[in-house]
DNA sequence: CATGAATGAGCGTTCATTCAT
DNA sequence: GATGAATGAACGCTCATTCAT
């Protein structure tokens, strides 16, 4: 059968990633085959390999995409605020909590606690922490300059704080309390950063 | 030919786990086959299924074993000290740092940063954090009673602290600075727990 | 489905080679799949890879087997005769002609002139010439000692003579005249070898 | 964007054959894809099928081209000499030896002994022998008329002689001695043809 | 004439699992 | 208990070919 001409040439990779994102959500990584993805995308098997070198390649692309969405949200949140380091930190915290609570963005998360999804899950967590860390780091450095934070190694402190946030996912597997736990954790994090002032506990209204 | 009589019947499962641990270390999870494991153990394929329901089953057993070793070390460290919560916390920190620096215990760790080993790596990290958390939690509760820690939710705080420690692995992928970073992080952790006293910076001599 | 226990364990490789030989004959090399072979052998696909590393591997084995049969026939023919070099040469020629005329042994040959069978065909021709050459060479050397052949380089002469025989396959693609042409060629070959006596034209009765 | 206008329309088939010849040389037949060819030719996939019916088609064209070059060289060598059959035979032999020793003409030859190139190699050898045979045949017939050759079947004898030459390639796989072996073989060939005169051993100066 | 995105049947290969012995 | 030959579904991936533009 001859190839069907597409209405929107150039949209294939995106369609495939979207399809992969959906299939990954539904079946997990180990049980997701390339056939599943192309079926979901309405494409032929060969088309897949026109745009992606391997199954791993597209999984990375999915992870990349989701991570990018979260990082974008985080950067936007931080950029909006031109106030002090503590406010920025709270804004960042809110962005993360919002994203974590957003079912659409976290489609994959529902399946993360199934063992077969470990792989993407952690690939993403790694990506996320790696890309969020510089944002936190700049906030920490700002706080040190402002004199509200007291840390010797901003790099170390940033990872520590983010790692602490990430662990909550494991601490509250049912996710119902996750968003609120992230908020509660702010106090722990600010303390770790040497903040001694009043704790800004109220989450920002959505 | 009758089956070879074993010198120690009942030792099979342990032999298989040991073999799996070795093979996992050498080849990663994805590239490790049941054949590899039974070959390394000097057993037949069928024998494997006498003791383990599946390949996943034995991988879990390996992870379990390693995690148990770490937990044992941690519990021993904490038990040895009958002094205050801060000292216990430092002792626990030392145990983790020691274990992390110990090549024998971390055979697998060398390969953890190879993408194909994500799976075990994170399965173990999860196990570890889950089993270490209660220990931390008891220390935190002790500290709260002693009045040196100020935390509202000991469960949350324990996970936060352990997550922070775990993230350091990602922050320092080369592992050469990992052990020292764990020590440095103690200050951040104690601060997060609301500790306001002098920081016990000196690591325990090896 | 569980494995069927074989009545004759150890017979698998031979069965697979036999099946491959048949399929190769029927479908050619390029169109012969591993599935075809295992279907013909009544085995499962995995069983194939228990005994052969790849499709190429079994094709080599088939070629090897046929070549061996021809070489065996040639050696037997030469060994039977303890007379002079010319008689031995004629005996060898007869063995080759007989084998060439034998439909059973040359099952594959029927298909050799189809382009897709080039590969095995030539792999076999190469094997054959390489293994027949030493036999010819010993005859040539004997003839030289007996004073009936005059050649400077027995190695060269042997290959030349065998190459000449082999080319007849190309000269008479319909094979109906092939056996007789081989006989006729004896005169050319003996002349090339410097034989000046009477030509032993009569083929040996079967 | 309109298709690029070609500087020389009508040159496409030649460009594709040249590209195929190059790719075939570098990668072998089995590993050479249509994509490789069109990429090397700077053409689009579709363009390929404007001029060639299939991949096999262009491979045949490449073989054809090389064979034609050799046949042209052979015919030229034979035409130059209007002397006797023996001289013509020697001239033909020289042309073949020269061509065989000429790296440019035998680009493909370097790769011929890699197993994956069997296919073209032999397709070409077949072509070559088939097209050279009529030339040899006319020389043989001339020699018979002149009384210097004694053969009953010129057709048979021609193939025998060419087959003998071709086998030398197998006898001397390293090719360093191939050209000299071809020369040495002349004596064997002339003898086979019934030539009883003095042997014209000296190769023609290059 | 020329394009190249799309096709999809088909390939060789793997390996966790079974069970007759 | 122990064996290991046998299984076969399932996989990721290739590439000659087509045709709407």
pLDDT of residue B126: 75
Give yes or no for residue D205 having a pLDDT over 70. no
Which of D115, D121, D160 lies closest to C185 in CB terms?
D160
Tokens of B159: 């996970």
Exposed e or buried b for every residue in C83-96, given b needs 16+ CB within 10 A?
A: eebbebbbbbbbbb
Q: Residues 41-60 of chain B: which lie with beta carbon within 7 Å of strand F?
A: 43-47, 49-50
Partner residue opposite D163 with nearest CB, options C130, C167, C194: C167
Identify from B114, B152, B170, B173 which residue to disrupt to test chain A contact, counting A C-beta atoms within 10 A and taking the largest count. Answer: B170
Interface of D with C (CB under 8 A): 56, 115, 118-119, 121-123, 126, 129-130, 133, 151-153, 155-157, 159-168, 170-171, 181, 184-185, 188-189, 191-194
In the predicted structure, residue C15 carries a pLDDT above the cut 60: yes
Neighbours of chain B (3+ CB pairs under 8 A): A
Give all domains of chain C, ordered by start, each with its CATH number.
9-52 (1.10.10.60), 56-192 (1.10.357.10)
Cβ pair A194:B191 closer than 8 A? yes
Which of C153, C156, C166 lies closest to D163 in CB terms?
C166
| Residue D206 pLDDT grade (very low, low, confident, very high; cuts 50, 70, 90) | very low
> On chain E, which bases lie within 7 A of the protein's CB atoms?
1-21
- The label of the residue with tokens 């002469």 reads C157
pLDDT band at B173 (very low <50, low <70, confident <90, very high): low
The predicted pLDDT at position A166 comes to: 78
Tell me which residue of C105, C119, C103 sits closest to C27, measured CA to CA: C119
How far does the CA of D44 sit from the C1' of F15, in Å?
15
Q: What CA–CA distance (Å, rounded) separates D192 from D190?
A: 5
A90 contacts: CB under 8 Å, gap ≥ 6: A186, A200, A204
Inter-chain touch B170–A118, beta carbons under 8 Å: no
pLDDT, tens only, A30-42:
789 999 999 999 9
pTM of the model: 0.78
CB pairs under 8 A between C and D: 110
A66-95: b or e for each residue (b if 16 or more CB lie within 10 Å)? Answer: bbeebbebbbebbeebeeebbebbbbbbbb
- Per-residue pLDDT at B49: 95
- Which residue places its CA closest to the C1' of nucleotide E15? B33
- Nearest nucleotide from residue B48 CA, by C1' atom: F2
Question: A46 CA, E10 C1': separation in Å?
Answer: 12
Q: What percent of chain C has pLDDT over 70?
A: 78
Whether the per-residue pLDDT at B85 is higher than 90: the answer is yes
- CB of C45 nearer than 7 A to strand E: yes
Q: Is residue D2 very low, low, confident or very high in pLDDT (cuts 50, 70, 90)? A: very low
Q: Which nucleotide is nearest to B45 (CA to C1')?
A: F4
Q: Please report which confidence band the pLDDT of residue C203 belongs to, taking 50, 70 and 90 as the band edges.
A: low
Length A1 CA → F21 C1' (Å): 17
**Structure confidence at residue B128 as a pLDDT band (50, 70, 90):** confident
Across the interface, do D164 and C168 touch by the CB < 8 Å criterion? no
Q: Average pLDDT of D69-96?
A: 86
| pLDDT tier, D130 (very low <50, low <70, confident <90, very high otherwise) | confident
Q: Which nucleotides along chain F are within 7 A of a protein C-beta?
A: 1-21
pLDDT category of residue B61 using cuts at 50, 70 and 90: very high
**What is the pLDDT, as a whole number, of residue B81?**
61
Determine whether the interchain pair D118/C119 forms a contact, defined as Cβ–Cβ distance below 8 Å.
yes
* Residue at minimum CA to C1' distance from nucleotide F8: C44
> Is D160 in contact with D172 (CB distance < 8 Å)?
no
| Chain B: closest CA distance from residue A182 (Å) | 10
Interchain contact, B165 vs A163, CB within 8 Å = yes
Lowest mean pLDDT among A15-19, B179-183, C140-144, D60-64: B179-183
pLDDT bracket for residue D35 (50, 70, 90): very high
Q: For chain B, percent helix, then strand, then coil, each to nearest 5?
A: 70, 0, 30
CA–C1' span, C46 to F8, in Å?
Answer: 7
Q: Chain D: residue nearest C178 by CA?
A: D156
List chain B residues with CB under 8 Å of A156: 168, 171, 181, 184-185, 188
The integer distance in angstroms from the CA atom of A11 to the C1' atom of E3 is: 19
Query: What pLDDT does residue D3 have?
Result: 47
Residue A197's pLDDT is 85
Could you give the C-alpha distances from B104 to B98, B109, D82, in angstroms and in order?
11, 10, 87
**In this predicted model, what pLDDT tens digit does every residue of A49-98 receive, in sequence order?**
999 999 989 988 998 898 898 899 899 988 866 779 999 999 998 888 88
- Distance, in angstroms, between C73 CA and closest chain D CA? 22
Chain B residues with CB-CB distance to A170 below 8 A: 126, 129-130, 159, 163
Question: pLDDT above 70 covers what percent of chain A?
Answer: 80
pLDDT of amino acid A205:
47
**C160-188 pLDDT per residue, tens:** 998 888 777 777 766 677 767 877 889 99
| DSSP secondary structure of chain C | -PPPPPSSTT-HHHHHHHHHHHHHHHH-STT--HHHHHHHHT--HHHHHHH-SSHHHHHHHHHHHHHHHHHHHHHHHHHH--S-HHHHHHHHHHHHHHHHH-TTTTGGGGGTTSGGGHHHHHHHHHHHHHHHHHHHHHHHHHHHHHTS---S-HHHHHHHHHHHHHHHHHH-TTSTTHHHHHHHHHHHHHHHTT--S----SPPP-
C2 CB inside 7 Å of strand E: yes
Measured CA to C1', the nucleotide nearest D3 is E2
| Residue of chain B with shortest Cα separation from A157 | B188
pLDDT computed for residue D117 by the predictor: 66
Cα gap C103→C174, rounded to integer Å: 13
Any idea how long chain D is? 206
Give the model confidence (pLDDT) of C100-115 as tens digits: 666 555 555 555 555 5
Judged by 3 or more CB pairs under 8 A, whether B touches D is no
């Amino acid at each position: 059968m001859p190839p069907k001409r597409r209405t929107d040439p150039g949209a294939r990779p995106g369609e495939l990633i979207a399809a992969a994102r959906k299939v990954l959500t539904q079946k997990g990584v180990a049980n997701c085959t390339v056939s599943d993805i192309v079926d979901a995308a309405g494409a032929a098997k060969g088309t897949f390999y026109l745009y992606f070198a391997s199954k791993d390649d597209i999984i990375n692309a999915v992870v990349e995409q989701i991570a990018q969405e979260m990082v974008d949200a985080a950067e936007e949140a931080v950029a909006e605020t031109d106030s002090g380091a503590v406010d920025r930190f709270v804004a960042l915290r809110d962005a993360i909590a919002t994203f974590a609570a957003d079912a659409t963005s976290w489609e994959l998360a529902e399946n993360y606690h199934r063992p077969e999804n470990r792989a993407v899950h952690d690939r993403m967590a790694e990506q996320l922490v790696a890309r969020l860390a510089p944002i936190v780091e700049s906030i920490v450095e700002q706080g040190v300059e402002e004199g509200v934070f007291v840390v010797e190694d901003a790099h170390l402190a940033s990872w520590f704080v983010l790692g602490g946030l990430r662990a909550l996912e494991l601490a509250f597997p049912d996710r119902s309390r996750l968003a609120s736990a992230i908020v509660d954790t702010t106090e722990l994090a600010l303390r770790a950063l040497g903040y001694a002032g009043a704790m800004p506990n109220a989450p920002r209204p959505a």
